[in-house]
Amino acid sequence: MIAVRLAGPGDAPVLAEMRYAFRSEMAVPTEPETRFLERVARWLANRLGGGVWTGWIACASGDPVGLVLVQLVEKVPNPVPEAEYIGYVSSLYVRPRWRGRAIPRGPAAVIGASRAATIGCVDKYVLPRREVRPWPCTC
């Protein structure tokens, strides 16, 4: 069974490893893996739980198989009843052997959490196919 849970600063090393795997599928890395993992783990640990960055981890029998990283972006204030934040999905990654399987509540968790946090829109950018696909929302 696959479960999705909120990530915290202690999850930074595994998130960094999946981020490396995600980006390495698209191009040959120019930074040594060890240095990248240390740098990104420190970066994530300092940001997760701080209110601007949020992450979720999909786990199968306790093993991480996917991630979602979202940045909260403040919009210019407006005079109408509309949320003044959007959620930008920076990373949406599933390990290759788990692709095509149902990972419950991944995108739904992001959209649900965004509504709870009064985020007006959640956007994602899918790099491997160079497609931009907004999730259902009104910005």
Q: For the chain, which residues make up each domain, given as ranges? A: 2-134
DSSP state of 26: T
Question: Which residues are 85's β-sheet partners?
Answer: 74
Contact 70, 88 (CB under 8 A): yes
**pLDDT value of position 104:** 54
Contact 54, 70 (CB under 8 A): yes
The helix or strand, by DSSP H or E, that contains position 135, with its residue range, turns out to be: none
Q: Amino acid identity, residue 18?
A: M
**pLDDT value of position 18:** 95
Q: What is the pLDDT of residues 85-126, one digit of tens each?
A: 788 888 888 888 888 776 655 455 544 544 444 445 555 443
The helix or strand, by DSSP H or E, that contains position 27, with its residue range, turns out to be: none
**pLDDT value of position 128:** 38
- Sign of the CA dihedral 91, 102, 87, 15? negative
CA dist 133 and 27 (Å) reads 21
DSSP state of 98: G
Question: 96, 126, 130, 92: which is closest to 111 by C-alpha?
Answer: 92
- CATH number for the segment(s) 2-134: 3.40.630.30
pTM: 0.73
